[in-house]
Chains A and B, each alone.
Chain A
Amino acid sequence: MKLSFAAFLKILLEGKSSKRFLVGVIGSFGFSIAVILSTIGLMDGFESTLIESLKNSNGDLVVKKETGFFLFNDQMKNLKKIDYIEEITPITQIEAFAITEGASSGVLVKGIEQKSFEKVTNLGLSLKEGEVAIGIELSKKYNLVLGDSITLTFASNQKINQGAPILRNFIIGDIADHKVYEKDLRFIYVDKEELLQVLNYKKETANTLLVKTSLYEETDLLLAYQDLLDRKLGSEYIVSTYWSEFKVLLNAVEVEKFSISLILQLIVIVAIFNIIAFIIFISEKKSQEFFLLRVLGINLKTVVRFWLLMLGFLWLLSCVVALVLTYIFDILIANLTFFKLPGDVYVLSRLGIDLELTDFALVFGLSLVWIFIIGSLSILKLKKKTLLQGLRQEFT
């Protein structure tokens, strides 16, 4: 039986001070990694949740007419026959006031064709005649539940009642959850035909067309397709992607992600100082043991191998601590009101940590590189000293 790594570790970490120092170093390094992971995860989570939410409420492409309303006639219906288009749904949307008991709020009422709308957006709403679906934030704001009534006030465009609003009572038949704060606070869905009747518009009137394509996974392809459709529909129509309404915000997040990752390097450097201190502490405190083991026949190669293994062990434990802390942080974000975001500022009312394998690989990989750079410097120091010098210095 050869001297095992475990035995070497036992020799190296003997004494309360060494163990406490090790725990402290693993804790602080793990915490630093967790902070980096959580920050990256929050940024990614924000980006992916927002994109996903937008897709779920917009489909892949949004078509609007420059002059506002258009007729969803056969020509428009034929868009469905174009390659890669899977489904289209017309929407008639109009600003209105929602009035509940003692309060009112500006809203955007969307008249939808339920079946095609669900296919395009994945937002399945169940609406009967006289019913509306309100956003979840609006329902929370005014304590509205299913079955409650709500009055919608529309501006009249008829010359006879110019200036007098159209008031209509609806029953809340469904609650919509877009996961985008503004939409959840402002959007109210109603059956398109019913809305057109209330407004006294022609049956085929619409002002927005949502399009679902088979290219939704590929944003580059979708951009190219948007360009193609834009040219096909002519200059009267504007085609935009589902994320374009928050494009500026998403770009800002990208820039912020880069700048924050630079700032986070400071945390890594502080943690690295802890590791340097530990390595110096161990190599100074245990140099007697190092030299004695070499006198007894351990070759330098084995000492170096064990030393690197110990650093790897330290890194591994730090990573485990980081994973646990990141998981705890994720739970806290999801459950504590303290972590609830002001939705009007951050668009999303809650953030989650969303990490991909590449994020883990990058953060863990870089921390491993840092540890081995520092560890290698201490090995150079150990190699520089001959056994005779070491014994004399350490045992005199």
Chain B
Amino acid sequence: MSFIKVEDVHKSFGKTGVLNGVDFEINKGDQVSLVGMSGSGKSTLLYLLGGLDKPTTGSIEIDGKKISNLGDDELARFRNKDVGFVFQFHYLLPSLNCLDNLLLPAKIGGVDLAAVKKYVTELSEKLGVTHCLGKFPYELSGGEQQRVNIIRAVSLSPKLILCDEPTGNLDSKNSALVVGLLRDISEKINATLVLVTHDPSIASQFERKITIEDGRIIG
């Protein structure tokens, strides 16, 4: 049974159709890159998978749950427990230090903080950002901020990790590092990884590539 099942999904903003009938399936634990030109609808599709919006028509099923039919409360719970987001920009809250930023999803979800704190501290060690935990986001470099962002995304061991151009703001060395980390972590926690990119070299690192053009899957 597929982990992600997208059936005839359309999404339009006003009269503009962004997704025009998208169908695909992804299995549990797969690592997939989602590629396409700017404005092709890849980010919109990613956000629909993450429950940040609902399709105009069609259905999206994740882990047997039809998220296109969920209400605001259930969607919020789904985003908190089942999905980890990594965006191009770090999106860390400037008022909180890195450790508090990392614990934010756990606090929102009411999860045991001690266990999560232990987990994110271990991950920080592995990713080399332990020295950043007491610092505020503005005190970190771009690469460090993105690594902290990745740790926050996986802090509750989500089933699905969604990344929107996570390397778009990084140099090639840091890009390779970030993609490697994402792949390793998702493999370790058996999460399904969907990464949006327009960089062919990054897309080629994934065993499966979904190409989108003018709101339709072409490959």
Contact = CB atoms under 8 A, between A and B. Distances in A.
A11 B113 CA distance: 19
Contact of A387 (B52, B81, B89, B96): B52
B93 A289 contact: yes
A298 B52 contact: no
Contacts of B73: 299, 301
Majority secondary structure of chain A interface residues (helix, strand, loop or mixed): helix
Interface string A295-329: 11111111000000000000000000000000000
A6 to B, nearest CB: 11
Interface in A153-186: none
A7 interface: yes
B128 interface: no
B79 A2 contact: no
Contacts of B113: 1
B122 to A, nearest CB: 20
Contacts of A389: 13, 53
Contact of A297 (B77, B89, B96): B77
Contact of A292 (B13, B47, B50, B91): B91
The interface centre, meaning the residue of B52, B73, B94, B96 with most chain A CB atoms within 10 A of its CB, is B52
Interface in B55-106: 72-73, 75-77, 79-81, 85, 87, 89, 91, 93-96, 104-105
A28 B91 CA distance: 34
B200 interface: no
A3 B91 contact: no
Contacts of B87: 395
A38 to B, nearest CB: 37
A300 B72 contact: yes
A297 B93 contact: no
B96 A11 contact: yes
Interface in A195-235: none
Contacts of B72: 299-301
A14 interface: yes
B95 A11 contact: yes
Given A295-B85, A388-B44, A14 B94 contact: yes
B95 A297 contact: no
Interface string A102-120: 0000000000000000000
A10 interface: yes
A62 to B, nearest CB: 69
Contact size class for A? 20 to 34
Contacts of B96: 10-11
B107 interface: yes
B85 A297 contact: no
Nearest to B111: A1
A294 B80 CA distance: 9
A391 interface: yes
A387 B52 CA distance: 6
B109 interface: yes
Contact of A395 (B50, B75, B91): B91
A146 interface: no
Interface in A270-312: 288-289, 292-302
B94 A293 contact: no
A144 to B, nearest CB: 69
B110 interface: yes
A299 B104 CA distance: 14
A298 to B, nearest CB: 5
Contact of A296 (B44, B47, B104): B104
- The 9 A-B pairs of least Cβ separation, nearest first, read A297-B80, A14-B95, A299-B76, A388-B53, A387-B52, A3-B107, A2-B110, A297-B108, A297-B79
Interface of B: 13, 44, 47, 50, 52-53, 72-73, 75-77, 79-81, 85, 87, 89, 91, 93-96, 104-105, 107-110, 113
Given A10-B95, A15-B94, 7 more contacts: A11-B93, A288-B91, A293-B104, A295-B79, A297-B81, A302-B76, A386-B52
20 contacts: A10-B96, A289-B93, A292-B91, A293-B108, A294-B79, A295-B52, A295-B79, A295-B85, A296-B80, A296-B108, A297-B77, A297-B81, A297-B109, A298-B76, A387-B47, A388-B47, A389-B53, A391-B52, A395-B87, A395-B89
